[in-house]
Structure 1
Amino acid sequence: MRARDVLLNILWFLLGGEVLFLLYCIGGLLMMITIVGIPFGIEAIKLGSLSLLPFGAAVGNLPGIHGLRFVFNVVWFLVIGWIIALFHFLLSLIFAVTIIGLPFAYEHWKLGFVGAFPFGKIIVH
């Protein structure tokens, strides 16, 4: 990880990254109470790991087409994904007001897309 990414991750953590991480992880653990919610909880915790240290992390798609991923993404989006995406997109607009906030706006934009449809995504730190 580059020194720039380390510095931006520290600032991200101090400016609310830890809150996002805790919210995603608590939500993920609550989803795992039922057997049906386990895949959704895993994806929420994966989003939490991305929201903890987003700078220097790359998001990619898993290869192949998997029908269950599509169904899970539709259910996720209808239940919570659109709220997560809207939240991150609004935060990206707020951060984009200043030049200093542009890197944070980009990371919220990235989190918004992953938060809308997390199944089938892979995060590489």
Structure 2
Amino acid sequence: MSLLLNIIWLLFGGIFIFFGYIAGGIALCFTIVGIPWGVQCFKLAIFSIFPFGQETRMSGQQPMSGVINVLLNIVWLIFGGVFVVINHLFWGLFLCLTIIGIPFGLQHFKMVKLGIWPFGAVIVSKDDSRQLATA
């Protein structure tokens, strides 16, 4: 079922989201300073190409890397993350106005979560997350 939903997602706009994040990641990686944020754009691109069947989780990292992640996430929010969040919130609300669009709107809401706090988040398949929850 998630394969069919992912194909429909790609046909009706998901591919444009993917290419937008790829273009943003490449532009950020052209500058040396922007490479960490470019890598996060690539993470968002991977998540946006096939969002059905995937989830995001916070990775359990060392305490010092957590502090660095918080600082990088604050810079992300100030210089572009807010626009990512507003964009996904708008499309999520718009798509949830119709019954057919609700599953796709929910995927945009999942991307809001990653758009707010990309550093320290990992993308896992739903099968892996069930295994992590039981372990």
TM-score exceeds 0.5? yes
Which residue of the partner structure matches residue 55 of structure 1?
52
**Superposed counterparts of 1:64-83, under 5 Å:** 64=61, 65=63, 66-83=66-83
Residue-by-residue CA offset, 1:30-75 (whole Å, 9 max, x unaligned): 1011221111000001100111100001110011441110000000
Deviation at 1:98, TM superposition (A): 1.1
Write the letter of the residue equivalent to 2:38. G
Q: RMSD of aligned C-alpha atoms?
A: 0.9
**Higher fraction of helix:** 2
Which residue of the partner structure matches residue 46 of structure 1?
43
1:20 is paired with a residue whose SS is helix
TM-score (normalizing by structure 1): 0.94
Deviation at 1:8, TM superposition (A): 0.4
Structure 1: where are the runs of 5+ without partners?
A: none
2:30 is paired with a residue whose SS is coil
Larger Rg, first or second structure (1 or 2): 2
Which residue of the partner structure matches residue 103 of structure 1?
103
2:53 is paired with a residue whose SS is coil
Count residues with an aligned counterpart.
Answer: 122
User: For residues 105 and 29 of structure 2, what CA distance do their matches in structure 1 show?
Assistant: 30
User: For residues 109 and 101 of structure 1, what CA distance do their matches in structure 2 show?
Assistant: 12
Deviation at 1:79, TM superposition (A): 0.6
Does residue 52 of structure 2 align to residue 25 of structure 1?
no
Following TM superposition, the consecutive aligned residue runs of length 4 or more in structure 1 with deviations greater than 4 angstroms are none
Moved more, 57-66 or 25-34: 57-66
Residue-by-residue CA offset, 1:66-109 (whole Å, 9 max, x unaligned): 11100000000011001100100010110001111111011000
1:32 is paired with a residue whose SS is helix
User: For residues 87 and 31 of structure 2, what CA distance do their matches in structure 1 show?
Assistant: 26
TM-score (normalizing by structure 2): 0.87
Which residue of the partner structure matches residue 9 of structure 1?
6
